[in-house]
Amino acid sequence: MDILGRWSELKPADNEVQEICDQVKPDVEKLLHMKFETFRALVHRTLLLAGGMHYLIQIRHEVEVQEDKHFKEFKTL
């Protein structure tokens, strides 16, 4: 259960979180000037605020080597 104004505990990524990653992947690739072979959500935290839900997501991506990165995404309620 998310508490207003507090980051949640670390949770395993689910289909909803992977869908967010799939949606932002082209923007991240453009921003970083890279093309990712894989872009998979591993774990995430959520922050519920009055304006919407913030997501802090750890992803695993692969270009030439496998790496983990974090990014933050916001969805209005």
Q: How many beta carbons lie within 10 A of that of residue 48, not counting itself?
A: 17
pLDDT at 74 over 70: no
pTM for the structure as a whole? 0.77
**According to the model, what pLDDT value does residue 34 have?**
86
**According to the model, what pLDDT value does residue 52 have?**
87
Instruction: Express each pLDDT in 5-61 by its tens digit.
Output: 889 999 999 999 999 999 999 998 898 888 888 899 999 999 988 788 889 999 888
pLDDT at 1 over 80: no
**CA-to-CA distance for 69 and 60, rounded, in angstroms?**
6
Domain boundaries, the chain: 11-76
**According to the model, what pLDDT value does residue 60 have?**
86
